């Protein structure tokens, strides 16, 4: 993947983020529309780059830190686009896109080379596992952003942000969709583990924490029925849940030894 | 109804309500989560205790680990109890839903996920009590391997072909195997990476492969280079043969004069050979290939000059058994189906306002 295209992508998202910031200051709808158009253009470009890498590699190239950050960033941008088009959450984009810039910024200095696929990963179950996993993570990142904005909105009561009810709806939807896709990721991973290692549950630290992520968000899908937890507590849980996700994705891959190393 | 009956009914009712309690579910799941979070970090810092957790079933690993360091492994049974109670709580909720299914059929997706979780819990428990994990087992082409813990069942490796890249990097391991039950073939498959042989809870899959010294090539004046493998015979003359009985890659003589193996890498190879004549064995002894030929062979007019080793390739296979695998597959099916139902019904319920009021 050529670095200039990556920098162009980063600039597109960065400009969109600045656009949302200016929209907050000047409150001009045209600026927000421009930012949204830039994000759509960014997603289009990123999809093209991802498809090109997939075509070049012959497999979904999500096997190192650069590739996972790039895929995570693509999934988050795509999901933001979905929520924006569905709920028109404009200023919320500032927070989500800042997170996306962090992901893409983390990928930029890394080697973009596509390495040879190790034989154990040569199965469609690997692609399904990865796709569901990172799209699930992206929904959890969205829930984290919306949760943080919910807490901000309870103090600011700003008309630039969506109202608390909308934020709660989006948060619950993001958690539910994230949980659903992460469940499919766990199922694909378990089937793959069974045929590759002969047992469908592994006591590897990454697998253990993936179960914890699943249990945490399963709990969140239930927590919305507890009246006292609706809204504020749910927002805090979304933030805490993303902490668990980040540790599972980056903490274990970079700090601890696991069968899902990130280099 | 008497007071006692009423009281016991009310106690049962209260117990049932507790069993179905959402708050209890959250409390149990939270307790299990916290225990496993802490435990997973203990796992990382005490690999000597926890490394074997992956290679054995819980019913074998836990008693061993408990004997080593009960405080370090206490989180495993504690979190197991929490998850077991959580599964019972989930079962109560599922039964409660089934009893009211006419009014609550819209939640089919969610409760299929509940059913799947219960099935997975049962499968995990079953597999970890009565299954096994074994290997890697070393097996040569044409060899039978008895399946551990399963009397009468054996595995035959019919053909083994390792696939390598030009750089020598292993790509795949093709094992043509057949499974035999008391002399009757019950299954066969080409076992390779991500393509195991699965039969009645058994999973047979390739782990790795290696080579073992099997013989040597020799130069014989006037005859050129010949190969002598373990168990093979080399005719020296019309009446004399050399038979190779055993080959050691690295050997030495101990104080008692016995030849012992000192390593598995090719270093000081030795072969146990015998000289056979028309009337039977003429001589048997060890030939250290770095030394001159034994006197008895030289006196028989034999001239052998070792040129290069001959190896035979073996496959390393993992053999696991999980009797709960079909239950786990059913659980996975329920969950997958449940997710799709729930995704559909989530938006339908949103459109109809059938959700916790915002």
CA A174 to CA A165: how far, in whole Å? 14
Q: Check: CB of residue A245 under 8 Å from CB of residue A154.
A: no
CA A224 to CA A173: how far, in whole Å? 11
Q: Provide mean pLDDT across the span A42-47.
A: 94
What percent of chain A shows pLDDT beyond 90?
Answer: 50
- Output phi, psi for A137, to 5 deg: -55, -40
pLDDT level of residue A142 (50, 70, 90 thresholds): very high
CA B150 to CA B127: how far, in whole Å? 15
What letter would DSSP give residue A247?
Answer: I
Q: How many CB atoms lie within 10 A of CB A46?
A: 23
In this complex, do A122 and B193 lie within 8 Å of one another by their Cβ atoms? yes
CB contacts of A175 in chain B (<8 Å) are: none
**A91 has pLDDT over 70:** yes
CA A75 to CA A77: how far, in whole Å? 6
In this complex, do B205 and A191 lie within 8 Å of one another by their Cβ atoms? no
Give B 220-239 residues with CB within 8 A of chain A. none
- Is the backbone peptide bond immediately before B241 cis, with ω within 30 degrees of 0? no
pLDDT level of residue B103 (50, 70, 90 thresholds): confident
CB contacts of B112 in chain A (<8 Å) are: none
CB contact B56 to A (< 8 Å) = no
CA atoms within 13 A on the CB side of A237: 24
Q: Among B56, B317, B358, pick the best mutation site for testing chain A contact (most A Cβ within 10 A).
A: B358
Smallest CA–CA distance, residue B350 to chain A, in Å, is: 10
CB contact A233 to B (< 8 Å) = no
Q: Among B170, B329, B332, pick the best mutation site for testing chain A contact (most A Cβ within 10 A).
A: B332
A-to-B residue pairs, Cβ atoms closer than 8 angstroms: 109
Distances (CA, A) of B194 to B18, B101, B278: 44, 41, 54
- Output phi, psi for B234, to 5 deg: -120, 120
A166-221 residue pLDDT tens:
899 899 999 999 999 999 999 999 999 999 999 999 888 889 999 999 999 999 88
> What is the SS3 assignment for A117?
coil
Token reading at B24: 């209890």
Q: Provide mean pLDDT across the span A248-252.
A: 84
Q: Provide mean pLDDT across the span B147-159.
A: 91
In this complex, do B40 and A209 lie within 8 Å of one another by their Cβ atoms? yes
Q: Provide mean pLDDT across the span B224-235.
A: 87
ipTM score of the complex? 0.89
Q: Please indicate whether residue B44 or residue B2 has the higher confidence score (pLDDT).
A: B44
Q: Please indicate whether residue B175 or residue B240 has the higher confidence score (pLDDT).
A: B175
CB contact A205 to B (< 8 Å) = yes
What percent of chain B shows pLDDT beyond 90?
Answer: 48
Q: Which of B44, B196, B198 sits opposite A256 (nearest CB)?
A: B44
Q: Provide mean pLDDT across the span A49-62.
A: 89
CA A227 to CA B350: how far, in whole Å? 18
DSSP string, B137-204: EEEETT-EEEPTT-TTEEEEEEEEEEEE-TTS-EEEEEEEEEEEETTEEEEEEEEBTTB-EEETTEEE
Burial class (CB in 10 A: 0-12, 13-18, 19+), B23: exposed
CA B38 to CA A189: how far, in whole Å? 23
**B71 has pLDDT over 60:** yes
**A40 has pLDDT over 50:** yes
Give A 55-114 residues with CB within 8 A of chain B. none
CB contacts of A177 in chain B (<8 Å) are: 343
Q: Return all residues near B17 (Cβ < 8 A) that are at least 6 apart.
A: none
pLDDT level of residue B220 (50, 70, 90 thresholds): confident
CB contacts of B171 in chain A (<8 Å) are: 119
What letter would DSSP give residue B262?
Answer: E
pLDDT level of residue A60 (50, 70, 90 thresholds): confident
CB contact A236 to B (< 8 Å) = no
CB contact A44 to B (< 8 Å) = no
DSSP string, B271-315: EEEEEEETTEEEEEEEEETTSPPPHHHHHTT---EEEEEEEEEEE
Out of B26-35, B229-238, B266-275, which region has the weakest mean confidence (pLDDT)? Answer: B229-238
CB contacts of A184 in chain B (<8 Å) are: 336, 339
B252-283 residue pLDDT tens:
998 888 999 998 888 899 999 988 888 888 88
B212: closest CA among B292, B343, B314, B354?
Answer: B314
Out of A245-259, B105-119, B231-245, B262-276, which region has the weakest mean confidence (pLDDT)? Answer: A245-259
B338-350 residue pLDDT tens:
999 999 988 887 7
Token reading at B358: 């915002």
> What is the SS3 assignment for A232?
helix
Token reading at A77: 């941008």
pLDDT level of residue B358 (50, 70, 90 thresholds): very low
**B355 has pLDDT over 60:** no
CA A32 to CA A24: how far, in whole Å? 9
In this complex, do A198 and B343 lie within 8 Å of one another by their Cβ atoms? no
pLDDT at B169: 76
Find, in chain B, the residue whose alpha carbon is nearest to that of A208. Answer: B40
β partners of residue B190: B176
CB contact A256 to B (< 8 Å) = yes
CB contacts of B204 in chain A (<8 Å) are: 198
pLDDT at A132: 95
pLDDT level of residue B174 (50, 70, 90 thresholds): very high
In this complex, do A195 and B195 lie within 8 Å of one another by their Cβ atoms? yes
The 8 Å CB, 24+ separation contacts for A158-163 are A160/A24, A160/A27, A160/A91, A161/A91, A161/A92, A162/A87, A162/A89, A162/A91, A162/A92
CB contacts of B320 in chain A (<8 Å) are: 198-199
CA B319 to CA B134: how far, in whole Å? 5
pTM (two decimals): 0.86
pLDDT at B356: 55
Give, rounded to a whole angstrom, the gap between the first and last alpha carbons of chain B.
44
Q: Provide mean pLDDT across the span B107-131.
A: 93
Smallest CA–CA distance, residue A110 to chain B, in Å, is: 25
CA dihedral B176, B179, B185, B188 (to 10 degrees): -40
CB contact B207 to A (< 8 Å) = no
CB contacts of A216 in chain B (<8 Å) are: 33
A12: closest CA among A66, A73, A83?
Answer: A73
CB contacts of B203 in chain A (<8 Å) are: 194-195, 198-199
Q: Which of B43, B203, B336 sits opposite A187 (nearest CB)?
A: B336
Q: Provide mean pLDDT across the span B132-149.
A: 91
Q: Check: CB of residue B197 under 8 Å from CB of residue B177.
A: yes
**A259 has pLDDT over 80:** no
């Amino acid at each position: 993947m050529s670095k200039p295209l990556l920098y162009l992508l980063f600039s597109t998202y960065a400009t969109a983020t600045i656009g949302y910031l200016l929209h907050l200051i000047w409150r001009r709808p045209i600026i927000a529309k421009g930012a949204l158009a830039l994000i759509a253009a960014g997603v289009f470009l990123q999809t093209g780059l991802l498809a090109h890498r997939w075509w070049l590699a012959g497999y979904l190239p999500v096997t190192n830190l650069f590739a996972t950050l790039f895929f995570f960033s693509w999934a988050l941008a795509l999901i933001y686009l979905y929520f924006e088009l569905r709920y028109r959450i404009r200023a919320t984009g500032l927070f989500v896109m800042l997170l996306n810039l962090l992901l893409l910024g983390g990928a930029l200095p890394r080697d973009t080379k596509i390495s040879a696929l190790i034989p154990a990963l040569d199965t469609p179950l690997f692609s399904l596992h990865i796709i569901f996993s990172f799209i699930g993570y992206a929904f959890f990142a969205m829930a984290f952003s919306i949760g943080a904005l919910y807490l901000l909105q309870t103090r600011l009561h700003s008309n630039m942000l969506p109202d608390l009810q909308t934020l709660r709806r989006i948060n619950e939807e993001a958690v539910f969709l994230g949980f659903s896709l992460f469940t499919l990721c766990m199922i694909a991973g378990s089937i793959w583990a069974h045929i590759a290692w002969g047992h469908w549950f592994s006591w590897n630290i990454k697998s253990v924490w993936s179960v914890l992520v699943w249990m945490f968000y399963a709990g969140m899908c239930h927590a919305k029925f507890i009246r006292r937890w609706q809204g504020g507590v749910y927002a805090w849980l979304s933030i805490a849940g993303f902490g668990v996700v980040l540790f599972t994705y980056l903490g274990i891959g970079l700090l601890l030894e696991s069968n899902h190393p990130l280099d | 109804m008497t007071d006692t009956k009423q009281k016991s009914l009310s106690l049962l009712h209260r117990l049932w309500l507790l069993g179905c309690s959402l708050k209890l579910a959250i409390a149990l799941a939270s307790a299990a989560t916290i225990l496993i979070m802490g435990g997973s970090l203990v796992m990382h810092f005490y690999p000597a205790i926890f490394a074997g957790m992956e290679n054995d079933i819980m019913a074998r690993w836990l008693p061993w680990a408990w004997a080593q360091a009960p405080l370090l492994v206490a989180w495993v049974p504690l979190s197991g109890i929490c998850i077991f109670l959580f599964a019972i709580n989930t079962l109560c909720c599922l039964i409660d839903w089934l009893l009211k299914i006419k009014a609550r059929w819209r939640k089919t997706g969610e409760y299929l996920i509940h059913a799947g979780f219960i099935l997975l819990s049962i499968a995990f428990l079953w597999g970890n009590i009565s299954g096994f994990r074994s290997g890697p087992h070393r097996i040569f082409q044409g060899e039978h391997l008895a399946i551990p813990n399963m009397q009468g069942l054996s595995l035959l490796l019919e053909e083994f072909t390792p696939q390598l890249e030009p750089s020598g990097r292993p790509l795949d391991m093709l094992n043509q195997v057949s499974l035999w039950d008391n002399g009757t073939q019950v299954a066969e498959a080409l076992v390779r990476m991500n393509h195991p042989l699965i039969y009645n809870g058994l999973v047979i899959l390739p782990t790795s492969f290696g080579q073992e010294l099997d013989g040597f090539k020799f130069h014989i004046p006037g005859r050129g280079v010949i190969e002598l493998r373990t168990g093979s015979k080399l005719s020296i003359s019309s009446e004399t043969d050399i038979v190779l009985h055993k080959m050691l890659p690295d050997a030495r003589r101990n104080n008692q004069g016995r030849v012992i193996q000192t390593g598995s890498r090719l270093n000081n190879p030795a072969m146990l050979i015998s000289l056979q004549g028309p009337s039977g064995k003429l001589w048997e002894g060890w030939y250290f290939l770095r030394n001159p030929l034994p006197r008895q062979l030289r006196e028989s007019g034999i001239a052998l000059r070792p040129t290069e080793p001959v190896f035979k390739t073996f496959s390393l296979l993992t053999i696991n058994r999980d009797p709960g695998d079909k239950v786990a597959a059913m659980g996975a099916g329920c969950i997958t189906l449940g997710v799709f139902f729930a995704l559909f019904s989530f938006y339908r319920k949103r459109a109809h306002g059938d959700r916790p009021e915002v």
